[in-house]
Copies of this chain bind each other. A is one copy, B any other.
């Protein structure tokens, strides 16, 4: 009986392959055996007319016993799958990339995970992250609270990288009194590829899930080498490269820490408490993010912000827009629509006191987004509008740090 983890030789049509048998995926034909070659690549081989020789059995026994130790210590974590590259694999019949369809596939795609901790894996939903919507954020927040209040030491969420930072910041605002770490993790290469970051990222996430970090974090490669992950604060992280493994970067703040063989925290972080975790998922999705450019006309601006309950502007520099838009901004605020200024520079803080344009915006009542990323300010405003309707309360909460999204130590340099 050949099982996943066994090292085998396959001979077929005069060719020979050596490698470790990978777990079977639901979408792969039953006649396809996937093995991980010594060079790290996976290949799928039809077993029709193939001779398969067992070279040595996999080391399942020892893994199981380590897992038992974790189990006895009660250190069980939840792995919630949402889709994305990290839990996907190549269907070797068609070449297409599929998400893991079952909890087993999700967990099995990275068996090394069980060396670190005992895991209950399940699929919450299955989406490429570009398809994730605010209602998915709510669902996920509720599932996380359920797991933490149900006794899990921590929660890992595997997520597509495209919108992972949006989801992370939404969870950071929605989840209160965290009694366990919430760690989001993704990968830029599917686990089939030898250059995959899936293994290391997921194992690093598991290590973080076993700490006392009472914040939502994103754990991803710190560089293109495989020896370290950063622990990013959910509200300060942004995907800054379309393809590199170190695409995630903390902006306007240091990462919370790093993970190699062990977890190192760089400075202060919020610690887990012993109250029940609350998922406060009330949001108002009707918020516009207006990205200012010199080509944005007054008509464009008004069209974009019409019927919205809140507006985030990604302005230029210290927080500016063209002077002839200030009247439209003023009108929105007079009508009770909060308008928050952020900077499209991403790095650095808004400061509307330096130039005349900024002072006009302050006078019009624009809320200072300080050093918040435009996307994070948008998610925060959605969450604030789910709770508050009075302008001055909205302003106060938007300008106050709630979940690490405003770095009070941030100095203009």
B291 lies within 8 A of A345 (CB): no
**B residues less than 8 Å from A291 (CB atoms):** 289, 291, 314
- Determine whether A254 belongs to the interface, using a CB cutoff of 8 Å to chain B: no
A347 within 8 A of B: yes
Q: Please tell me if A268 contacts chain B, counting CB pairs below 8 Å.
A: no
Indicate whether A294 reaches chain B with its CB closer than 8 angstroms. Answer: yes
- How many identical subunits does the complex contain? 2
B347 adjacent to A294 (CB under 8 Å): no
Q: For the complex, is A134 an interface residue (Cβ under 8 Å from B)?
A: yes
- Measured between beta carbons, the chain B residues less than 8 angstroms from A15 are none
Q: With A224-B413, A357-B128 as given contacts, are A242 and B294 in contact (CB-CB < 8 Å)?
A: no
Question: Chain B nearest CB: distance from A25 CB in Å?
Answer: 17
Please tell me if the beta carbons of B130 and A316 are within 8 angstroms of each other in the complex: yes
Stretch at the interface among A52-60, A113-121, A147-155, A317-325: A317-325
For A242, the closest partner residue in chain B by CB is B348
Residue A28, interface by CB 8 Å: no
Given contact pairs A316-B130, A357-B131, A345 touches B241 in the complex (Cβ within 8 A): yes
Measured in the bound complex, the distance between the Cα atoms of B247 and A343 in whole Å is: 13
- Is there contact, CB below 8 Å, between B242 and A317? yes
List the B residue with the shortest CB-CB distance to A239: B345
A5-13, A158-166, A331-339, A396-404 - interface stretch: A158-166
Is A355 interfacial (CB-CB < 8 Å)? yes
Q: Is A393 an interface residue (CB 8 A)?
A: no
Q: A166-B293, A316-B129, A322-B130 are in contact. Are A243 and B351 (CB under 8 A)?
A: yes
Quick check: A128 and B347 within 8 Å, CB to CB? no
Cβ–Cβ < 8 Å partners of A134 in chain B: 294-295
26 contacts between A and B (CB under 8 A): A96-B356, A128-B320, A129-B316, A130-B315, A130-B317, A130-B320, A130-B357, A132-B294, A161-B317, A163-B316, A166-B293, A166-B294, A167-B294, A224-B413, A239-B316, A240-B345, A241-B347, A242-B317, A242-B318, A242-B319, A242-B347, A242-B412, A243-B413, A247-B348, A293-B378, A303-B303
